[in-house]
Structure 1
Amino acid sequence: MEEQVGQLWHRFITRAATTHYPAATVELTAVSRTVGVLFRAGGGDAGLRIEATTATTHGARRSWLQRLAGSHQQVELCWRDTEALRLPAQINWFPERQLNYDLYLWLAVLAAGPTDLNLPWFSLNQQLTQDRLTRFPGLQSRYERLVAAQLALRPDPQQLPTDEAAQELAIQQALRQPGSVTELPPAKRPHQPVYLWLHPSPPLLPNQSSKISTPEATSTPQTRNNTQKVNRRRRGEYTPMPDGKKGLLAFRLESLFTLAEYVKVDRCTDEEEDTQAAKQALDDLEQVSVARDNQTAAASLRFDLDLPAPTHDNTRIGEGILLPEWDYKRQQLRPDYCCLQPMLAAAAPPVELPPHLRRTAQRLRHQFEALIPTRTWYKNQPEGSEIDLDAYLRQLTEYRQGKMDVERGLYRDFRRGSRNLACLLLADLSLSTDAWINNTARVIDIIRDSLFLFAEALATTGDQFALYGFSSRHRSHIRFHILKEFTQTYNALIRGRIQAIKPDFYTRMGAAIRHASSLLRQQPASQHLLLLLTDGKPNDLDQYEGRYGIEDTRMALHEARKQGLQPFCVTIDETASDYLPHLFGTQSYVVIRKPSDLPRELPLLYARLTQAK
């Protein structure tokens, strides 16, 4: 009974203290695509992701009802770093939905400006506002409506102490006329948040590589569905493991002291019964602390991800190939920074095509027979199956007229044409492909079936093609699996290599793309198609995670295009639209929404990409 009364009281007082408008809520997931386009069109960095920000404590004055409810202590404000543009997960500060939508657009344009200026927060936001309104005058009326809505939510300076009133007047004047106020007067208490400006002190991590990610940010294909999820960055820190002995908290509530003791609990999210409650608990934390428990789990993890013993590993071909890597922070290539190791399956006996693929393969072979160049007459040939009468008569006429300069071919031959193209398919074989989709099939099984059908279809046309797979473990060991080379004929031995593929390690795309490009450009053809088959973005154990890996992959693709190659990406990653346009462009990738369709769609996609050649 007491618990029910407490819940009712909590809902009542929280609802009474709120100043938001739930009916006018606009979600970031609904406008992320529009916001991304507007941010990049406004001059923003094309490599930044669009993510939900984390709430931070503002410390501003609150009403007595808000203090009683314990609410309005944190706020989500816009900011950006080298990885992403971070916007509130939802905006419902204004009573009109259109105003909340316009605020998303305004923040995207504002954040696209030059925020590297060495200015204080107060002056920086005014200068950014001036710059944006000058460059995009069409935003003036929208900005004025947002300012009017923002001022309606600001506190009345007459009801504030002198120092806070002076500060509030300066902020309101800066909102009405950006650039008219040079300095923000000091005050003992922080000012109310300014929704139209960037975060005054964004919670940047001192070491981006040690960030704490939520389950949404590290989801695998087994958790993918049609619902959109918001990636949210958490501030994190590593802390020593509590010993369970220091637990006295001087928490005064009606003169009562509470004794709290740390309890070691192995809380596994896979076995969590109330996952929604766990997520809400995480949402309430402004900073997540992580401690190393003991060495058992860490040792087991290292064993699982360590390289296999040479006696159980695939056969290494050569001593490895040194390749460069692009460092976007230094804006230069690091020569001989990565080592790529070509590998061949050690135990891959010849196999026949799996029975469940034979009917589809037969249908694809019939469809791809239409791509086989038809037999036509080749005239004016120096050699051929019969005399070309037209050429003979023209030559005889010119000879009698004294106009004969060079001898022409007098034969014609009936033979098949040539498509004159080469395709290299590079498959991602990282550990993420071991995940299950809808508990029916693993990603690696879908990739394997796709390779089978792709090879069956291209073997019908006679096109030059090669198949490779890749994974990585640090920059010093990038595994490049040889499935079929250009000079090899597709047969049972190649099928055995495809059957033997398995997921392992991580996804260092840049080096794999560079080596694949080198192999492809050596083929004599008029069209060189580089197909990348993947289920996620680039990553590895070192700094290759995040923006670094994205930019290295983008540079590798840029180098491939300069060599005359045509890169194209096929992915089943539902979040691919956040980063693939930056990597491949808007017309050079496709997202397969239903992964089970990949084996059938991949050969047909190849046909569409090459039929005009």
Structure 2
Amino acid sequence: MEEVVGAAWHRFITRIANRSYPAAAVQLDEITTLAGPLLRAFGGEPGLRVAAAGETRHSARRSLLQRVAASGDKTIHTALDNETLRLPETIALFPDRARNRELYLWLIALAGEVSRTGGHEGPPQQPNAATTPDLAPPPSLWARARDVARALVLKRPLEWDKADTRTHAARDAWLQLNQHAVAAVLARYPGLASRYGRLVDAHLAQRPDPTALPADEAAAERAIRSALAAPGSISQLPAATRDPHPVPLWLMPALDSPPPQPLQGETEADTADGGETKAEVRERKQARREELPDGRDGFVLPFRAESLLSWAEYVRVNRATDEGDEDAAGAAREMDTLAVARGGETSTAKVRFDLDLPAAAQDDLPLGPGIAFPEWDWKRRALVDDRVRVQPMRARDAHNTELPEPLRRAARRLRAQFSALAPQRRWLRGQQDGPELDLDALVRWQAERAAGCVQPEPGVYAAPVRAARDLACLVMADLSLSTDAHVSDTHKVVDVVRESLLLMGEALSATGDPFAFYGFSSLKRNHVRVHTIKEFDEAYDGAARGRVQALKPGYYTRMGAALRFATKVLGERPNAMRLLLLLTDGKPNDIDHYEGRFAIEDTAAAVREAHRAGLRPFCVTIDREGADYLPHLFGPHGFVVIRDPQELPQRLPQLYAQLTAG
């Protein structure tokens, strides 16, 4: 009975303490297709992606109901860093659904302005004709404002102490940055002024009344109200003992964290995305590594009983991994920082996370001399020479094999279809010499001769010639860890890749076009493996099919290095048209710095290099989120997303025919 009453009381008090409006909520998913293009339209850098933001604690004053319900101590800040604009997964701040949607659009416009005017690390973008330099916030504001974000992430309230010069500068930078950005957006896009005014009026009505606050908090609240109503009017935020009430109309600079890294000793199988996941935590979570409990340590000995409820640190409790946890994602959302350890058993409850983990130690031991290639450093806007090493290799355990029986029917159909693309013999008529007479030319010559028009050397013969298709194709297949994931009960991604290459080889053999097959994976910058399957001067025979069958998942996806290797090989071909096909199942990534924005920009630079070399790069992906980032890499018409991976073997030859038509 106690549990029933307690649960009912919790639902009741939580509901009446909730200040949001769930009935008018707008989900981030509803504007996903609009968010990316709109961010770029407002000046955001092309490499920025849009994702969900996580909750952070604050120490702002709460109402009595919120304190009784133990709610209202967390908020979701719209955060911008070098790689991502993180928006709330849901906005239900206002009772009007249209106003909640307007808030999403306003935050995107504000982020675009900050990104455009140099609120990121590295050299700022060059201003265009419409830029008003006097409105651009100094880049140093952004770095100082990160201190505010750091304090929020670490779950401790900012100490609004005038003697603390660092904290004082950080909070002032946060205040000035947002005022500068708001003023710049309103000056550049006057049509947004009315929308911003409606949002400010609605938000000010929800903010705490300064007359009901202590003197120090009231001064900070009045300053924020003035900054919202008249951007640029406030230069300093008065010191207070508590955090200011959250400002959902402003941005918070996110902490720049190293990319997610595998734990020490992690194996390939540990990081492969195999099996089913029961839940997914979309927002980014702070994380730290811990050693797995060895089972020999006690719980907490010695300890003081009064300190148990106040501890928030990780406790090495040996919890069984085979017990079910149906609300694992919900529990993860409630935690501010996740402790991650590697164990030898598989948990029954699987949750996908986007974690901020510290970088693992880099080994960078080369496999061999390899081939040196540069890599694009997007922060310095320059290529770093000899940054990566590509090691070409061949499978040792490959044997001559025939085409698998399940694929033979499809192969016969493709060979019949693609044989029409093979060079056909045609006749050149009106020749001086040839194996056959050109009857039309002979009759015409006889008629002209009878009319008195005599030609000394009439062309009355026909000679055969072959029409050549002057093109070459190189297929580069992604063989990263993620290809070990299942797409059906019987097939993994790597199986689909094998079948696609086998059928592609049968189709291209029928056309007579020269082609080559390669696969790639990587393990840091000196371990980029390129598997040679079939070179241009090799026949597509049982040996090539055996190398296709020997393909297996490798490591990670350093896509830029693979594309530069393919550009080098294909660029040496003399053909007029040179097609570079990339098969992949996800974003470029590796376990050193090659993650997120760095990987995206390096791949985009490699694609630009391929275009400059006269190649035609084209990406075929089974990543359902590919449309979010591939337009920046390959252009709006340089890729295709195949929703059902099992359709890839049939679709790939068809795509080749479409790309080479005409």
TM-score category, normalised to shorter length: 0.7 to 0.9
Pairing 1:235–2:307 present: no
Match of 1:416 in 2: 466
Pairing 1:158–2:200 present: no
The one-character-per-residue Cα deviations of 1:384-406 (angstroms, maximum 9, x if unpaired) are: 4346786997xx99xx99x99xx
The one-character-per-residue Cα deviations of 1:116-136 (angstroms, maximum 9, x if unpaired) are: 523311111111011111212
- Counterpart contact for 1:247–1:259, Cα < 8 Å: no
Match of 1:324 in 2: 374
Match of 2:111 in 1: 111
| Aligned residue type for 1:232 | E
- Counterpart contact for 1:472–1:479, Cα < 8 Å: yes
Q: How does 1:434-583 map to 2 (within 5 A)?
A: 434-583=484-633
Match of 2:416 in 1: 366
Unmatched runs of 5 consecutive residues or more in structure 2: 121-137, 142-172, 264-270, 345-362
Pairing 1:59–2:59 present: yes
- Counterpart contact for 1:89–1:230, Cα < 8 Å: no
| Aligned residue type for 1:174 | A
Q: Give the superposition deviation at 1:440.
A: 3.2
Q: Give the superposition deviation at 1:342.
A: 1.3
TM-aligned CA distance change 1:247 to 1:464, over 3 Å: farther
Match of 2:32 in 1: 32
Pairing 1:607–2:642 present: no
Q: Give the superposition deviation at 1:356.
A: 0.8
Secondary structure of 1:516's aligned partner: helix
Q: Give the superposition deviation at 1:147.
A: 1.3
- Counterpart contact for 2:292–2:316, Cα < 8 Å: no
Match of 2:86 in 1: 86
Moved over 6 A (4+): 256-261, 380-383, 407-410
Q: Give the superposition deviation at 1:196.
A: 0.6
The one-character-per-residue Cα deviations of 1:531-557 (angstroms, maximum 9, x if unpaired) are: 000111112221112222222111111
The farther-off stretch of 424-433 and 321-330 is 321-330
- Counterpart contact for 1:78–1:88, Cα < 8 Å: yes
- Counterpart contact for 2:223–2:237, Cα < 8 Å: yes
TM-aligned CA distance change 1:261 to 1:453, over 3 Å: closer
The one-character-per-residue Cα deviations of 1:456-489 (angstroms, maximum 9, x if unpaired) are: 1111111111111111122222211111111112
Question: Whole-Å Cα distance in 1 between the matches of residues 604 and 311 of structure 2?
Answer: 55
Question: Whole-Å Cα distance in 2 between the matches of residues 211 and 83 of structure 1?
Answer: 20
Question: Whole-Å Cα distance in 1 between the matches of residues 420 and 429 of structure 2?
Answer: 24
| Aligned residue type for 1:236 | A
Question: Whole-Å Cα distance in 2 between the matches of residues 603 and 478 of structure 1?
Answer: 28
Q: Give the superposition deviation at 1:260.
A: 11
Match of 2:646 in 1: 596
The one-character-per-residue Cα deviations of 1:329-383 (angstroms, maximum 9, x if unpaired) are: 2222222222211111212221111111111112222222332344322357686
Question: Whole-Å Cα distance in 2 between the matches of residues 252 and 585 of structure 1?
Answer: 58
TM-aligned CA distance change 1:410 to 1:326, over 3 Å: farther
Match of 1:4 in 2: 4
Match of 2:339 in 1: 289
CA RMSD of aligned residues (A): 3.4
TM-aligned CA distance change 1:240 to 1:272, over 3 Å: closer
TM-aligned CA distance change 1:69 to 1:451, over 3 Å: same
- Counterpart contact for 1:539–1:549, Cα < 8 Å: yes
- Counterpart contact for 1:247–1:262, Cα < 8 Å: no
Question: Whole-Å Cα distance in 1 between the matches of residues 235 and 193 of structure 2?
Answer: 22
Pairing 1:182–2:232 present: no
TM-score, normalised by the number of residues in structure 2: 0.79
Q: How does 1:4-403 map to 2 (within 5 A)?
A: 4-113=4-113, 114=117, 115-116=119-120, 117=138, 118-119=140-141, 120-199=173-252, 202=253, 204-205=255-256, 207-208=258-259, 220=273, 222-223=275-276, 231-238=282-289, 244-245=299-300, 248=303, 251=306, 262-265=315-318, 268=321, 271=322, 273-275=324-326, 277-290=327-340, 319-379=369-429, 384-386=434-436
- Counterpart contact for 1:341–1:478, Cα < 8 Å: yes
Q: Give the superposition deviation at 1:293.
A: 7.7
Question: Whole-Å Cα distance in 2 between the matches of residues 135 and 125 of structure 1?
Answer: 15
| Aligned residue type for 1:578 | D
Q: Give the superposition deviation at 1:211.
A: 9.9
- Counterpart contact for 2:262–2:591, Cα < 8 Å: no
Unmatched runs of 5 consecutive residues or more in structure 1: 213-217, 295-305, 308-315
User: Percent of aligned positions with the same letter in both sequences?
Assistant: 49
Question: Whole-Å Cα distance in 1 between the matches of residues 401 and 248 of structure 2?
Answer: 63
Q: Give the superposition deviation at 1:236.
A: 2.2
Secondary structure of 2:624's aligned partner: coil
The farther-off stretch of 486-495 and 66-75 is 486-495
- Counterpart contact for 2:261–2:591, Cα < 8 Å: no
Question: Whole-Å Cα distance in 2 between the matches of residues 347 and 474 of structure 1?
Answer: 25
- Counterpart contact for 1:28–1:89, Cα < 8 Å: yes
The farther-off stretch of 150-159 and 74-83 is 150-159
Question: Whole-Å Cα distance in 2 between the matches of residues 520 and 382 of structure 1?
Answer: 40
TM-aligned CA distance change 1:266 to 1:387, over 3 Å: farther
| Aligned residue type for 1:204 | L
Question: Whole-Å Cα distance in 1 between the matches of residues 97 and 530 of structure 2?
Answer: 52
Question: Whole-Å Cα distance in 1 between the matches of residues 106 and 418 of structure 2?
Answer: 50
TM-aligned CA distance change 1:408 to 1:528, over 3 Å: farther
TM-aligned CA distance change 1:541 to 1:211, over 3 Å: closer
The farther-off stretch of 277-286 and 243-252 is 243-252
TM-aligned CA distance change 1:100 to 1:246, over 3 Å: farther
Secondary structure of 1:480's aligned partner: strand
- Counterpart contact for 1:471–1:506, Cα < 8 Å: yes
Q: Give the superposition deviation at 1:421.
A: 0.9
- Counterpart contact for 1:458–1:465, Cα < 8 Å: yes
Q: Give the superposition deviation at 1:409.
A: 8.8
| Aligned residue type for 2:106 | W
Question: Whole-Å Cα distance in 1 between the matches of residues 292 and 398 of structure 2?
Answer: 47
Q: Give the superposition deviation at 1:252.
A: 7.8
| Aligned residue type for 1:531 | L
- Counterpart contact for 2:81–2:254, Cα < 8 Å: no
Question: Whole-Å Cα distance in 1 between the matches of residues 313 and 420 of structure 2?
Answer: 75
TM-aligned CA distance change 1:487 to 1:261, over 3 Å: closer
TM-aligned CA distance change 1:258 to 1:37, over 3 Å: closer
| Aligned residue type for 1:235 | Q
The farther-off stretch of 157-166 and 467-476 is 157-166
Question: Whole-Å Cα distance in 1 between the matches of residues 549 and 59 of structure 2?
Answer: 60
TM-aligned CA distance change 1:265 to 1:381, over 3 Å: farther
- Counterpart contact for 1:20–1:94, Cα < 8 Å: yes
Question: Whole-Å Cα distance in 2 between the matches of residues 443 and 6 of structure 1?
Answer: 49
TM-aligned CA distance change 1:221 to 1:610, over 3 Å: farther
Question: Whole-Å Cα distance in 1 between the matches of residues 630 and 333 of structure 2?
Answer: 29
Question: Whole-Å Cα distance in 1 between the matches of residues 87 and 459 of structure 2?
Answer: 70
